[in-house]
Structure 1
Amino acid sequence: MPPATPPRLPPPAAAPRAIAGAFVPDEVLVTLDGGAGVAAEVAAQFGLQVRSTRVSSLLGRTVARFGIPDGRPVGFVLAQLAGDGRLAARVPNHIFQLQQATGVVGYAFERIALDASKVSGENVSVAVIDTALDPEHPALAGRVAATFDALPDMAVKDRGHGTSISGLIAGHGSFQGMAPGARLLHARAFESGVSSTDVLLAALDWAADEGAEIVNMSFVGPENSLFSAACRNAMERGIVLVAAAGNNGPGAPFGYPAAYDGVIAVTATDVHDKLMQQANRGRYIDLSAPGVNVMAPIPGGVDAVTGTSFAAAIVSGTIANLMRAGETADPQALAALLARTALDLGPPGRDEDFGAGLINAQAAMAGR
């Protein structure tokens, strides 16, 4: 039998472009109208492999993940796909990382003026996109309303970061979170601290479809137009997005999704309201919150944790209390309220280190 004739590939329709940030080296993501059949046709024409397809409710199209079996650079393949009218978007499958620094003080409630005896967030749906969590931890047992595994083919090894984030938001009993009455939705999207755009899109779609009012995203990666569109569409549905600013230092590039317009970008401060040294800086920073040596649940107990991840969780839990108290759920209005009532830190006015300043729950609830 003669060997199969390889597909005739069209030349690039645009020059291969430099790609910012880390990405899966043998994959691209596209969106298209139609289903798996159209994806298969595109893959066959361009010498690609269909690795997954699914319909994104936030993007309103099918997301196809194509593998590149022959070693062509991702930028080259994206350039080849640029001329195909069947495709609405073509992006790298960017890699994102959790924002936890290595690190006992239970100071968070005091610093943000949130009365620990009155916190609730009852019936406010908060989704966490993170590692798996420890469902048997006393602080989380019986607290998780729904779960989703965006990595079903990968064994669960890591439960630490997700346990801490979910516990800071909705922990009860042995460890009280910021909003112990919240309806907690938990999506596993990370293993060994790493995820990809395709996985995060699936998790965000699930959170939106489950009725999340707040989504906590304690991770950072490069700008990606598909994930940007999904975040924008989620906010247009009224979902408040809270994200970690990043732990990569003053000279690091902007961290996404925190740097997307409308996403509440949170940096970390310590018990003295000093900025975490390794925090990202930039005009996209919105708010500061405790995130240096804050106590949080971990598998098997409680420990001090450090990172903008945990500051973001504290802000997510605080927002759940604001919603429970009757504050508007409109993302832009909430962000403006939190900025207006924050305690100014650093130079007078908004700055690239602290944003508008330290979140002040009491002032926000009073609407000052």
Structure 2
Amino acid sequence: MNTTDLVNNDISETDFSGSESYLPSFKELSGRKFNNDELIVGYQNDANLDEILKNFKGATVEKEIPELKAVLLKLDTNVMDVEKAFEILKGKKIEGIRYVEPNYTDREIPVIKSTDSKTQKEMGSSTLNQVEEGYPDYKDKQYALKKIGAESAWEKATGEGVIVGLLDTGTDGTHPDLVDQLVEGYDPYLGVTIDPAIDYDSDGHGTHTAGIIAAKDDGQGVVGLAPDAKIMPIRIFNPGYIGDYAVADGIVWAVDHGADVLSNSWGGGGYSNILKDAFDYALTNDVVVVASSGNDTTDQFWHYPSAFTGVIGVAASDALDEITDFSSRGEYVSVAAPGNNVISSIPVRLAVSDGVVGEPFAYWAGTSMACPYVSALAALIKEEYPDANVYQIRKMIEEGAVDIDEDGYDTSAGYGRISSASLDLNPADYEAGNLVVKAISKRSSNPLPGVFITLESKETSKRYYGKTSNDGTELFAGIEPGDYEIIIGGPEYLYYFAPNYRMEEELSYSGVVEVSNVTTYTQEFETTQFKTDLTTDLSFAGTLTISLLDSYETPIKTFEFTSNAEISIDLLPDIDESGHYYLAYEYVGTIPEEEFGIRGEIQINNESIPVEIPVNQEGTGFIDEYGGLGIPWTIF
């Protein structure tokens, strides 16, 4: 990704082929849901696709998203499934392939639907403002509007001219509060556009979130926080989650068709390369991305998409300005918004079964309800300040928030509960920090992929997480300027593109970096120890030598072993370049009648690895912890 393009908001030539890449380990695959006959492949050049297809007999390219340089492969399950494909890939490194991952299907909608009959009776009481025709006026029941200061906000902006892409279950365009409030949408699973005047909601969730954002202010029903904004429905639940690939396609479609804000009341599961690329595509096109933090209660850092850098993660608060019990916590939380006991629209067809007193409105709870309030506030800011970039809008939302929960920033409420005060701030007061982290080997300056990075702001303790891509870099775009503690570790040996094969070869570093407009931080990885302590416990009549070999198996240094000897060799002084090295032995002579072999340990980075290699015939062999399989030792 081009950092200069991001900083200057010049995205016409932005290349998404350099984004963070990640191949899951088998352990991760076993704990997640995915389509067993599909693989997502991110490439640098489409010519590289032919090479990867050679490895998968019967696989075909089913779909492509050129903007993200990604394709969906269809596997012939009579030949192989996803796990078999990963077994094949684990032993190969294919030039030009950024990532390979399953098409995950384990994202969820964080919502709690109310079925409380007492609440429904209260909604039908005489406290409501009745109208001669149509539905009662429920505005007085919308405590969130009072909390946020909607009346004050509407004096400045109502969302006019702003389009909010709603990634959800679809929306009922026939609902009286939403008629003429929708624009053409998209169903990425079917690849068809959505008529804004029909009911295209598979569940009801998308109609509820749409009403929170943009229900019109007509004196009846509910009113959205941005009543003059338009909703662009992108159906990604039908009713279950349609998969990461189709969702990425929907994101790109929304960006390319005029969305200014993307509202995401869904999430969960683990990391996804293609979703990261898709949301980066939105952010670099100055589309604000908002996502719910989840209803898991727990404090976590892996909830996606809310944990992606640049995304506004939203927690749920209640009428007392307290964070709800169900709201997930984490460093990715930016702000909180009302998300408990929220009344909004539901599809007309569900009025009798699910609605309040038989009307197409319902009280629901969840970070699903909090997220659209923040999306609506972003729409108001976008109308008032059309030239504000995504970082400025995020900071205005955070800086204008009312501090609740713990003093200052905290992982429960972020910077606080949102308010109309954000509209009084000046976007020119906020300049984004952008940090590029590079991980390289000390001896040869080779880029190191698969290195974990944690940033922690010294001012707020807010954290950001990343992992280096194939070129050894990771971009943190649109973060707060200032001093950060940086912790770097890896490369993760299970990562497909990592050069090392052992956890003991991983290294870790920490430091402080001052992030400004564009900052580059380079961390050199240097292996600190590589030595052998070996012995043979029997006399032998032949000649036994131990050699250090380079990656081409050319000897660098050779040592001779004698009977019953112990030998300790410091190998690091003989290594000038980073890369793979082998330890090997050669035995010439008669093999003793008793069991004979080389035993001891290899010490690398102050970690000891036991080795035991049987020598049962003349010839050569490798020395490693796997009995001589020839696994190279990685030196940085």
Q: TM-score range, shorter-chain basis?
A: 0.7 to 0.9
Paired residue for 1:74? Answer: 82
8 Å CA contact 2:335, 2:417 repeated in 1: yes
Give the corresponding residue for 2:484: none
Change beyond 3 A, Cα 1:315–1:226: same
- State how far apart, in whole Å, the 2-side matches of 1:159 and 1:359 are: 28
The answer to whether residue 128 in structure 2 is matched with residue 84 in structure 1 is: no
Q: How many Å separate the matches in 1 of 2:347 and 2:160? A: 25
Residue 77 and residue 338 in structure 1: after superposition, are their counterparts in 2 closer, same or farther (change >3 A)? same
Conserved in 2, the CA contact under 8 Å of 1:31 and 1:64?
Answer: no
What is the distance in 2 between the residues matched to 1:217 and 1:131? 11
Quote the residue 1:294 is aligned against.
342
Q: Say whether residues 1:98 and 2:146 are aligned partners.
A: no
1:177 corresponds to 2:224: yes
| Corresponding residue SS for 2:28 | coil
- Measured against aligned partners, the alpha-carbon deviations of 1:116-173 in whole angstroms (never above 9, x if no partner) come to 764510001211111121111111112211111112289x772401111112111114
Residue 344 of structure 2 aligns with an amino acid whose one-letter code is A
Q: How many aligned residue pairs are there? A: 350
Q: Which amino acid aligns with 1:114?
A: A
For the structure 1 residues 15 and 29, does the alpha-carbon distance in structure 2 shift closer, same or farther, using more than 3 Å as the test? Answer: closer
2:368 to 289, 306, 309: 309
Q: TM-score, normalised by structure 2?
A: 0.51
Partner in structure 2 of residue 188 of structure 1: 235
Structure 1's consecutive aligned runs of 4 or more residues displaced over 6 angstroms after TM superposition are none
Q: 2:333 aligns with which of 285, 298, 309?
A: 285
Secondary structure at the counterpart of residue 180 of structure 2:
coil
> Take 1:236 and 1:90, find their aligned partners in 2: how far apart are those partners?
23
Give 1 or 2 for the bigger CA radius of gyration. 2
Q: Name the CA shift for 1:273/1:56 in 2 (closer, same or farther; >3 Å).
A: farther
Aligned partner of 2:381 in structure 1 is: 322
1:278 deviates by: 1.3
* 1:340–1:328 CA distance, 2 compared to 1 (3 A): farther
Q: 2:406 aligns with which of 340, 347, 366?
A: 347
Aligned to 1:107: 143
Deviates more, 1:139-148 or 1:96-105: 96-105
User: Which position in structure 1 is the counterpart of 2:323?
Assistant: 275
Alpha carbons of 1:182 and 1:73: their partners in 2 closer, same or farther (altered >3 Å)?
Answer: same
The structure in which a higher percent of residues are strand is 2
Pair 15,213 (structure 1): closer, same or farther in 2 beyond 3 Å: closer
Residue in 2 that maps onto 1:167: 211
The answer (yes or no) to whether the contact 2:189–2:242 under 8 Å persists in 1 is no
Structure 1, 137-146 or 40-49: larger mean CA deviation: 40-49
- Could you list the runs of 5+ residues in structure 2 that have no partner in the other structure? 1-22, 120-140, 193-199, 349-359, 427-636
1-structure distance, mates of 2:112, 2:245: 25
- Amino acid paired to 1:243: A
Q: Is the 8 A contact 2:314 2:370 kept in 1?
A: yes
Check whether the contact 1:97–1:195 (CA below 8 A) recurs between aligned residues: no
Q: Offset at 1:314?
A: 0.6
The residue matched to 1:219 in structure 2 has which SS? coil
Inter-CA distance 351–252: structure 2 relative to 1 (3 Å threshold): closer
CA contact (8 A) 1:18 1:75 kept: no
Residue 22 of structure 1 pairs with residue 70 of structure 2: no
TM-score (norm 1): 0.86
The 10-residue stretch of structure 1 (341-350 or 180-189) with the greater mean CA deviation from structure 2: 180-189
Letter of the 1:209 counterpart: D
Q: Tell me, in whole angstroms, the C-alpha distance in 1 between the residues paired with 2:400 and 2:162.
A: 22
- Structure 2: which amino acid aligns with 1:66? K
- Give 2:295's match in structure 1, choosing from 236, 244, 247: 247
Mapped contact 2:41–2:100 kept (Cα < 8 A) = yes
Give the one of 417, 423, 439 matched to 1:365: 423
Larger RCO: 1 or 2 (CA < 8 Å, sep 6+): 1
The corresponding residue for 2:60 is 50
Deviates most, 339-348 or 321-330: 321-330
Distance in 2 of aligned mates of 1:15 and 1:167: 38
Query: Taking structure 1 as reference, are residues 157 and 243 closer, same or farther at Cα in structure 2, changes over 3 Å only?
Result: closer
Q: Give per-residue Cα distances to partners, 1:57-95, cap 9 Å, x unaligned.
A: 2x1x24223335148563552353452325332112122
In the alignment, the residues of structure 2 paired with residue 311 and residue 302 of structure 1 have an alpha-carbon distance, to the nearest angstrom, of: 17
Cα deviations by residue, 1:262-308 (Å, 9 ceiling, x for unpaired): 10000111111121211111111100000111111001211111111
Residue identity opposite 1:18 in structure 2: K
Instruction: Give the Cα separation in 1 of the matches to 2:262 and 2:66.
Output: 17
